[in-house]
Amino acid sequence: MDLVKLSEKYRLELLENVIPFWMECSPDKLHGGYFTCLDRRGRVYDTDKFIWLQGRQVWMFSTFYNKIARRQEWLDMALNGAHFMQKHGRDREGAWYFSLDRKGTPLVQPYNIFSDCFASLAFGQLYEATGTDDYAVIARETFNNILKRRDNPKGKYNKLVPGSRPMKNFGLPMILCNLALEIEDLLEPDLVAELTGDLVHEVMDVFYHQETGLILENVSPDGSFADCFEGRLLNPGHAIEAMWFIMDVATRINRHDLVEKAVQIILRTLEYSWDEEFGGIYYFLDIKGHPPQQLEWDQKLWWVHLETLISLLKGYRYTGDKKCLEWFSKVHDYTWERFPDPEAGEWFGYLNRRGEVYLPLKGGKWKGCFHVPRGLFQCWKVLESIAGSEGS
Amino acid sequence: MDLVKLSEKYRLELLENVIPFWMECSPDKLHGGYFTCLDRRGRVYDTDKFIWLQGRQVWMFSTFYNKIARRQEWLDMALNGAHFMQKHGRDREGAWYFSLDRKGTPLVQPYNIFSDCFASLAFGQLYEATGTDDYAVIARETFNNILKRRDNPKGKYNKLVPGSRPMKNFGLPMILCNLALEIEDLLEPDLVAELTGDLVHEVMDVFYHQETGLILENVSPDGSFADCFEGRLLNPGHAIEAMWFIMDVATRINRHDLVEKAVQIILRTLEYSWDEEFGGIYYFLDIKGHPPQQLEWDQKLWWVHLETLISLLKGYRYTGDKKCLEWFSKVHDYTWERFPDPEAGEWFGYLNRRGEVYLPLKGGKWKGCFHVPRGLFQCWKVLESIAGSEGS
C-alpha cells in the first residue's frame, strides 16, 4: 500500500465530496440549524431536527476549522447550528431535548443522554474555535449534567422494574472516553484523571468478556454476564469504535498496555463479526449464536465500517501490528466499493447483507454530518502520520 | 382452486404441525407459563416471558378448545399460561407488565397497553371455555383499564413533549375492534354499541387517507395528515389485518357498506405494498415514497402474510369480489413456498426482501403461538364456509 496516496484519497474525498455536500444541502437558511434528512441527491425530505445530529455537525465543522484550516465559512456553518441549539435545544433544567421541529419547537423529551454528550462535544470544540466563554459554560454544564445522570441516564423514562435485572450499557462510558479527552481543557485536572481511570476500567474490564475476548454491549452492574437478549448482545461497531477512543486516552496517559489490549479486541471482534459469505461487518450479533432481537442484525452500516478503518489505522500506528494493516486493506476495499456515491455525492449509509443499498438516503434521523467526515478526516491524518514516520 | 382441498390443507397444517409444535416445545413445566423464544428446532434459547405472547397463547388454546374440540390437553395448556399470568402478570394498579423473567419476576413496566389487550382477550376466551367467574372479572377489569388509558396509552413513559405535535396510533383502535367483539358478552350492550360505532369511525374514517385510499399508521388527533416520519408511515400488514376485524364487526352490526370499503382498502393496500421484484408484502413504507425510519422496511414477515390471507378470504366470502380470490392465490403461493418449515416444524417468521430466512427462530420476543395458528384456523374455517355456500 502506498500510504501517501491513500492519505490523499481520504483527504480529497473529505474536502471535495463530503464537506461540499453538507455545506450545500444541510443549512436551514430560514430558521437556522441543519436539515439532516436528505435523500440520495441531497434534497430535504423531512425538516425535523435531531439534537444528536445538530450537535455532531457543530462539532464537525468546528473541528475542520480548528484542525484543517481557519476558513470562515466552516466557522459560520458551526455557528449556524450552535445558535439554533442555544436558542431551542434545552429544557428548563438544561437537559437537551431529543428532537425539535424545523422552527425549534421541542418534540421529544430529553430521555436520551447522548443528546447531551454530542452537545457538550459541540460547544467544547466551538469554544476552541472562538474563545467565546458562553460556549465553554455550555460544554461544562452539560458535561456535569451527564455525570449527574450517569447512573440512570434515562431517568423517569426508564421502563425497567427497579432492582429486578439491572443492566448497564456500553454506550455512555464509551462516549465519555472520547468526550472527556475532547473537552479536557474545560475540566479540573483531578476530575479528568479520576474519570479517565474509571472509564478505562469500565470499557476495558467491566464490559470485556474474558472467555471470548469480546466487548459486551450490556452487562450486570458488577460486570457479570447476563444471559438475556440485552446481555448476549454484541455491537461490533461500538466495540471497535471504542477502541480508538481508548487508544487516544491511553496515549494521553501513557498506558501502552491498554493500546495492546485494544488492538487485540479490535482484531478479535473483526474475526468474530466479519461476514465470510458476503463481506462486511455485521451490525448486531448474539454472543451465544442465538437469534438477536434486532431485525437489522445482518445489515452493513456505514459508521461501523468507517470506525473500523480508524481503529485499524490507529492500532497500526501505535503498535506496528501488521494484522491491523491487512484488515485495514480488506475493510477499506469493502467500504470504498459500496458506500461512496460518486454520482450524487456523499456516502450511502445502509446496505443489506449482500452489500446492496436498501435505503438510498444520505442523511436521516441517525445519519448526519459525522461518521463519514470524521472517518475520512481521522484516516487521512493517521495515514499521513504513519507515512511520515515510516518515511523518516 | 379446489376450496375443499385448500381448507383441508390449512386444517391439517394447524392440527398436525403447528399445534403439536407449541404443545411440545412451549410449556414451562417447572414455573408455569410458556417459553416463546424457540429456535428453529423448538429448543428454548431464552426464558423471559412476554405478556403479549403469554396472553396470546392462552387465548389461542382457549379458542381451539371452544371452537375446534373440547380436548382437555388444550384447556390445560391455556390454564397453564393463565395461572402464571394471574399470579405474576399485573402491578398493584392491575396494569399488565410487558415482560417477566422465567419465574415471574417483573422485568419491564406496564408501558405497553397491548399487554392489557392480549390479557383481556385471553381471559375472555378462557371464561367462555370454563365459566369461571374470576376469568370474566379479569377480562372485564382489564378492558376497563384499557379504556381509561386510551387517550395516553404510554402514560408517564410517553416521551413526546405535550402539545407540540400530538399524534395517535392505529394499533389501539384496530385491536379494540377485535377485542370488543371477542368479549362482547362480558360488557354492557350499550357500551359495546357506542364503542363499536366509535372504533369503526376511527379505523375507517380517521386513519383513512382519502387521496390514496390507504390507512395511515399515525395521524394528528383530528385525523389530519402530519408530514413527519410517524405521519408518513404505512404499515400494510396492520391496515390489512384491521380490515378483517372490521368485516367481522360490520357483519355483526349489519353494515355491508363497511365490508365493501374494507375490501377496497385491502386491495388498494396490496397493490401499493406488493414487492413487484421479489414478491411479498413490504413491512413498512412511506406514503410519500421517502426513506422510512425502519431499517427492516423491506423485509417479509409471517404475520403480514397470514393476516392478508385471512382478510382476502373474508373479503371474498362477504362480497364475492373475484379480485380477492386472485390475490389470495398469489399471496397463498408466496406464503406456502417460504414460511413453513416442514423439516423442523412450525413456520419461519422473518424473511429478507428476497424471501430468504435471515432469522431461523420459530418464536422470540414478538413471534409466539398466535398469527400462524390463528391464520391457519381462520383460513380453514372461512374456506370451509365458502366451499359450503358455493357447493349449496
Residue A160 is nearest to which of B108, B292, B365, comparing CB atoms? B108
- Helix then strand then coil, in percent of chain A rounded to 5, is 55, 10, 35
Query: What confidence tens digit (pLDDT) does each residue in B22-40 have?
Result: 999 999 999 999 999 999 9
Q: Residue B120 and residue B89: Cα distance in Å, rounded?
A: 12
B131 touches B65 (CB < 8 A): no
Q: Residue B231 and residue A278: Cα distance in Å, rounded?
A: 35
| B306 assigned to some structural domain | yes
A291–B97 CB contact, under 8 Å: no
Residue B295 is nearest to which of A105, A160, A296, comparing CB atoms? A296
Interface of B with A (CB under 8 A): 37, 39, 45-46, 48, 97-98, 101, 105-109, 111, 156-157, 159-161, 164-165, 227-229, 288, 290-293, 295-299, 350, 352-353, 358-361, 364-365
Q: In this structure, what CATH number is given to the domain that contains residue A238?
A: 1.50.10.10
Q: Residue B192 and residue A282: Cα distance in Å, rounded?
A: 50
Distance from CA of B161 to the nearest CA of A (A): 5
Choose from A47, A161, A218, A297 for mutation: most chain B CBs within 10 A: A161
Size of interface A-B (CB pairs under 8 A): 107
Pick from A1-5, A234-238, A302-306: least confident: A1-5
The grid coordinates listed for B71 are 380436548
Q: Compute the mean pLDDT over every residue in chain A, rounded to the nearest whole number.
A: 97
| B7 assigned to some structural domain | no
pLDDT of residue B28: 98
| A157 assigned to some structural domain | no
| A374 assigned to some structural domain | no
Query: What confidence tens digit (pLDDT) does each residue in A42-52 have?
Result: 999 999 999 99
Interface of A with B (CB under 8 A): 37, 39, 45-46, 48, 97-98, 101, 105-109, 111, 156-157, 159-161, 164-165, 227-229, 288, 290-293, 295-299, 350, 352-353, 358-361, 364-365
The grid coordinates listed for A341 are 456515491
Residue B161 is nearest to which of A106, A290, A293, comparing CB atoms? A106
Choose from B159, B225, B348 for mutation: most chain A CBs within 10 A: B159
pLDDT of residue A1: 80
The grid coordinates listed for A321 are 501490528
CB crowding B41-56: b at 16 or more within 10 Å, else e: ebeebbbbbbbbbbbb
Q: Residue B285 and residue B327: Cα distance in Å, rounded?
A: 20
A129 touches A78 (CB < 8 A): yes
pLDDT of residue A180: 96
Radius of gyration, CA atoms only, chain B: 20
Distance from CA of B141 to the nearest CA of A (A): 23
| A269 assigned to some structural domain | yes
Query: What confidence tens digit (pLDDT) does each residue in B43-102 have?
Result: 999 999 999 999 999 999 999 999 999 999 999 999 999 999 999 999 999 999 999 999
B135 touches A77 (CB < 8 A): no
For chain B, which residues score pLDDT lower than 70?
Answer: 391-392
A364–B293 CB contact, under 8 Å: yes
| B319 assigned to some structural domain | yes
Residue appearing with cell numbers 372504533? B199
Question: What total number of domains does chain A contain?
Answer: 1
Distance from CA of B277 to the nearest CA of A (A): 13
Q: Is the pLDDT of residue A392 over 60?
A: no
* Residue A98 with chain B: CB contacts under 8 Å: 159
A106–B359 CB contact, under 8 Å: no
Looking at the DSSP assignment, which residues form a beta bridge with residue B218?
A: B169
A291–B364 CB contact, under 8 Å: yes
Q: Is the pLDDT of residue A146 over 90?
A: yes
Nearest chain B residue to A162, by CA: B107
* Model pTM score: 0.97
| B211 assigned to some structural domain | yes
Q: Residue A184 and residue A166: Cα distance in Å, rounded?
A: 31
* Residue A287 with chain B: CB contacts under 8 Å: none
Residue A106: what residue type? P
Answer yes or no: is the ipTM higher than 0.90: yes
Within A19-71, where are the H helices?
19-25, 51-67
B108–A161 CB contact, under 8 Å: yes
Residue B229 is nearest to which of A292, A353, A365, comparing CB atoms? A365
| B77 assigned to some structural domain | no
Residue A67 neighbours by CB distance under 10 Å: 12
Percent of chain A topping pLDDT 90: 97
The grid coordinates listed for A6 are 491513500
Percent of chain B topping pLDDT 70: 99
Q: Which residues contact A120 (CB under 8 A, 6 or more apart)?
A: A138, A139, A140, A142, A143, A146, A179, A183
B279 touches B334 (CB < 8 A): yes
Q: Which residues contact A188 (CB under 8 A, 6 or more apart)?
A: none
Q: What would the mean pLDDT of A82-97 be, rounded to a whole number?
A: 97
pLDDT of residue B125: 98
Distance from CA of A152 to the nearest CA of B (A): 15
Domain that holds residue B224: 170-361
* Residue B106 with chain A: CB contacts under 8 Å: 161, 164
